[in-house]
Structure 1
Amino acid sequence: MAFLGDCVIVFVSQMLFFAGGWLFFNKELFKHYEIRHISVQLIFSATFALSVTMFELIIFEIIGVLESSSRYFHWRLGLTLLLFMVTAVIPIYICHSVIHSISFFSDKLVRILTTICWFVFLYGLWRIGEPFPLLSASHGIFTIEQGVSRISVIGVTVMAILSGFGAVNYPYTSMTYFIKPVSRNDIICFERRLALTVDMLVAKKRRIAMAAYIHNKQHTTKPRIWEMITSAVHRTSSGEDINQLKQEVYGLEELLRSVFLELNSLKNMEERQRWSQTLKGKYFNVIGHFFSVYCVYKIFMCCINIIFDRVGRKDPVTRGLEIAIHWCGFDIDFAFWNQHISFMLVGCIVVTSIRGLLLTLTKFFYRISSSKSSNIIVLILGQIMGMYFCSSVLLMRMNMPAEYRVIITEVLGNLHFNFYHRWFDVIFLVSALTTTVVLYLSRKPVPSDDSDLH
């Protein structure tokens, strides 16, 4: 009966997670599009529910919910279903949707090509293990360990790229130090330049249209030898050189684009200045300073870990409590505080990971989606989400005390956990440094050419 009750608890929570994924799909991703394929919504919601269930089981490990045997069963079942989604269901559906969009393929040919593409995907997924120290075929082929070991390479890479970008970009966008001072006079000046450029561009195009009209009118009345002479010099009787005017129009259009982008940047910066003076802006400015310190610390520690090939042996909670007890002399209940602080730490990581990924997926979807490609893009985002959360479980294991990571270690088997942490450090470092360089170059002023205004 205890096992049945545990199954009911997990099933009910999964239904709630499924409903959350369903609402997110309707209210955020597809609020501007018509839902044509209910199967896409079902796949995305099911992947979301299975992914969040992994985090739920981590929390259950810490606070002791469910029987140990039940948690082990649901760990294996959840990972098996999640791997089935990201290695079979979603890739097959993506291949089928892409190939089916090609109108001249018959249904039979679509099924054949979909099967071929899926086997190519599986072959590529298996070949990922060659350059990395993953499990060999001697550990079995269709096992949880093999699937997680290969999926996690992609997931850890995505996670490290997003983490490196966020660690640098968040302080940059929230701290007032990086807000370039903009006065109202600067904006008015650029608005006048924009209006002047538009007026000049309209005048040039009007002259081209008038010259072309005169040229066409003369074309019907002049003899053919005169047409050949005027077309050779491309100059009308009014003295307008159409080629020269077109070159000037091209230069003004480039200048107009440059002035518009600069004006838009100044207005965005002015909006950031007003926002930074609000209570929310001041709060995010303080948080940004903490994140800037964290970014520097994380980059430094990544360099140390890479150079000395070092991986942490103890989770930060256990290490912090040991320092408080043995070095600072605090008389505290180690087991009690270890459990409760670990629960709060993991809970914060779970909430921020889910929120951060969903916000990133939403921004990415709005940037590249269209009415025709929206379903395929949602499936790709669902694939990334499944890989991301599967890898999060693997990396989050290091943030848990040793007594709470036993079942996770048993389920994941003989994975090379240290490799994934080193790989995360390498990709995080590259992503953070690349983001820093890009943001630095984007802040450098680009001189604009005003020669066309004179």
Structure 2
Amino acid sequence: MYIMEMISAGDALIVLGSQTVFFILGWLFFMKQLFRDYEVDQKAVQIFFSVTFAISCTLFELVIFEILNVLSNSSRLFTWRTCLYTILVLLICLMPLYFYYSLIRMQRFVPLSWVMPLTLICWLITIYAFWRLGDNFPILSAKHGIFSMQQAVSRVGVVGVTVMANLSGFGAVNAPYTCMSIFMRPVTEDDIAQLERKLRQNFDMIVAKKRKLALKELELSRIGTFKAAPTGTLRDQIRLLNSEILPLEEFGKHLFLELVEAHNAKNRVEYSKTWQGIYFNIVGHFFSIYCIWKIIICTINIVFDRVGKVDPITKGMAIVVHHMGYQIDVRFWSQQISFLVIGIIAVTSIRGLLITIAKFFNAISNRQSSNLVVLGLAQLMGMYFVSSVLLIRMNMPSKYRVIITQVLGELQFNFYHRWFDVIFLLSALCSILFLYLAHKRTPIR
């Protein structure tokens, strides 16, 4: 009865329906992108990922509902609190416990009776470190109890904002580097042919030495039964051949990677000449301007300790009204543009994070570690989306921030924006340095 007073049947149907859709989308992404080449041996991992994805998307949905005034105030407040409590339990309790349980159970030398005690010990150490994290940042508030939801959100926000700023900093630099033709390395057919010829020569040398090695080992096995036969020289020859084969194989791997990179560079040059490539080249120039602008703004914010008090949309419209002489309904258009901008932020954030998760998973996972990798990525995803809500709040007009402030309490929102600027700036500068060194690397000739 209490729940029915907090949320009406119609509102509950909308929320549950959207969460079901988000859960199915998370389930399909898990099956189609993450586990195309791996067997799903732990359904709990799939459920954790899909539930985290569904609740994370619901947080973005609630931000949009605030602007469009969908659902009643009590329904939105109840859904906000339910989603936040649920995702915090997942991020702090359930997923870390299951992660350590799976990790420890994989170790064959650990007795089965020790799995649960070790799992609990590892989880308690993690919780202690997580809670101590708040001592190093100005995120604590005397108005909230030490075990309140606000204290948990403040710590999750630090980790999530750090992840988000790192991804944003690298993306702001990598996007123009990938799209702009000025950064493309010119590769000719002669360069590729030369690398292929070197690779074939290397392969032939390895085959010849391995054939010779096999003959020497066969000869050694034949004369090994005769104790009087001298085998010292033969063993030295085998040892010498092995020492020659190993660097040849390493050099062959290096040549192969260089050949793959040359083919990719050639394909990029050819693609840049198409209409779509020209379009992305233009987009890359805009991204480069954005990157430079964002780095300058972050530097100014850090140096002058500046955080905006008014959302950018309302501020921009105020400039239009007062300085350009246009007469428009600021309140109406602020709501419409806020909905559009936050919708774009939500969609691009979800899409960008899912692409990053898929790439990261395919790069580091194998059949043994795949479940652990997904659990770790699901935790980062949940923290990422909780932090996104903290940062999106600044892009909302003041009247739409009320319920978020009411749910989260008096968190130090300004700190998260300053922390984002610091990490974004460091990530962008490190990415520029890394890509510069990679671009200047001398290819094999």
Partner Cα distance (1:134, 1:368) in 2: 34
* CA drift at 1:141: 2.3
Offset of 1:220 from its aligned partner? Answer: 6.5
1:3 aligns with 2:8: yes
For residues 379 and 68 of structure 1, the distance between their equivalents in structure 2, rounded to whole angstroms, comes to 34
Q: Partners in 2 of 1:265 and 1:75 — Cα distance?
A: 48
What does residue 304 of structure 1 align with?
300
Deviations 1:341-370 (A, max 9, x none): 111000000000000011111111111222
SS in 2 for 1:139: coil
Contact 2:258 2:443 (C-alpha < 8 Å) held by counterparts? no
Task: Quote the offset at 1:431 in angstroms.
Answer: 0.8
Q: CA RMSD in A?
A: 2.2
- What is the distance in 2 between the residues matched to 1:219 and 1:35? 50
The correspondence for 2:438, drawn from 432, 442, 446, is 442
Query: Closer, same or farther in 2 for the Cα pair 1:134/1:270, shift >3 Å?
Result: same
Q: Does 1:269 align with 2:273?
A: no
Q: Provide closer, same or farther for how the CA distance between residues 218 and 142 of structure 1 changes in structure 2, counting only shifts above 3 A.
A: closer
1:407 to 387, 394, 403: 403
1 CA distance for matches of 2:418 and 2:257? 41
Q: Is the aligned partner of 1:32 residue 2:37?
A: yes
- Cα distance in 2 for residues equivalent to 1:111 and 1:213: 52
AA paired with 1:120?
Answer: I
Letter in 2 for 1:411: V
1:372 to 368, 374, 377: 368
Note if contact 2:185-2:265 (Cα within 8 Å) is conserved in structure 1.
yes
Report matched runs for 1:23-422 at 5 Å. 23-136=28-141, 139-211=144-216, 213=218, 223=228, 227=231, 230=233, 234=236, 245-422=241-418
Q: Report the Cα offset of residue 133 of structure 1.
A: 0.6
Q: Which residues of structure 2 form unaligned runs of 5+? A: none
Specify the SS of the correspondent of 1:130: helix
| Cα distance between partner residues in 2 of 1:220 and 1:22 | 62
1:143 and 1:218, CA in 2 relative to 1: closer, same or farther beyond 3 A? closer
Whole-angstrom distance in 2 between the partners of 1:251 and 1:19:
50
> Offset of 1:373 from its aligned partner?
1.9
- Which amino acid is the alignment partner of residue 8 of structure 1? L
Bigger radius of gyration among the two: 1
How many percent of aligned residue pairs carry the same amino acid? Answer: 52
Higher mean alpha-carbon deviation, 384-393 vs 304-313, is at 304-313
Q: How big is the shift at 1:174?
A: 1.3
Distance of 1:208 and 1:119 partners within structure 2: 55
Cα distance in 1, alignment partners of residues 443 and 372 from structure 2: 41
CA offset digits 1:324-356 (Å, max 9, x no partner): 111111111111211111110000000000000
Cα separation, 2, equivalents of 1:255 and 1:158: 36
Which residue number in structure 2 is paired with residue 238 of structure 1?
none
TM-score by structure 1 length? Answer: 0.91
Task: Give the distance between the partners of 1:101 and 1:198, measured in 2 at CA.
Answer: 38
Deviations along 1:233-279, one digit per CA (max 9) or x if unpaired, are x4xxxxxx666555543443343233222211110101112222233
CA spacing shift, 1:307–1:215, aligned 2, 3 Å: same
CA distance in 1 between partners of 2:386 and 2:400 (Å): 18
Change (3 A) 1:227 1:50: closer
Equivalent position SS for 1:129:
helix
Q: What CA distance in whole angstroms lies between the structure 2 residues aligned with 1:34 and 1:207? A: 41
Out of 138-147 and 107-116, give the one that drifted further. 107-116
Letter in 2 for 1:124: A
Q: Report the alpha carbon displacement of residue 299 of structure 1 after superposing the two structures with TM.
A: 0.8
Structure 2 vs 1, CA of residues 207 and 371 (structure 1 numbering), >3 Å: closer, same or farther?
Answer: closer
Q: Provide closer, same or farther for how the CA distance between residues 200 and 35 of structure 1 changes in structure 2, counting only shifts above 3 A.
A: closer
Deviation for aligned residue 1:45: 1.1
Contact 2:141/2:410 (CA < 8 Å) preserved in 1? Answer: no
Instruction: Determine the C-alpha separation between the residues in 2 that align with 1:18 and 1:215.
Output: 63
**Separation of aligned partners in 1, 2:78 and 2:124:** 30
Label 1:249 to 1:102 Cα distance change in 2 as closer, same or farther (>3 A): closer
Bigger mean CA offset, 202-211 vs 29-38: 202-211
How far apart in 1 are the matches of 2:311 and 2:292?
A: 20
Q: 1:206 to 1:141 in 2, by over 3 A?
A: same
Task: Give, as a single letter, the amino acid of the residue that structure 2 aligns with 1:10.
Answer: V
Task: Give the superposition deviation at 1:109.
Answer: 2.6
- Aligned-residue offset at 1:384: 0.7
Q: Secondary structure at the match of 1:304?
A: helix
**Cα separation, 2, equivalents of 1:68 and 1:218:** 90
* Structure 1 spans left out of the alignment, 5+ residues: 235-240
CA distance in 1: counterparts of 2:319 and 2:204, whole angstroms: 70
Distance 1:199 1:275 in 2: 34
CA–CA distance in structure 2, aligned partners of residues 208 and 97 of structure 1:
44
Could you give the per-residue CA deviations for residues 130-170 of structure 1, whole angstroms, max 9, x where no partner exists? 11012156620232211110010100000011111111111
Change (3 A) 1:231 1:259: closer
CA distance in 2: counterparts of 1:202 and 1:36, whole angstroms: 40
- Between the two proteins, the alignment pairs up a number of residues equal to 440
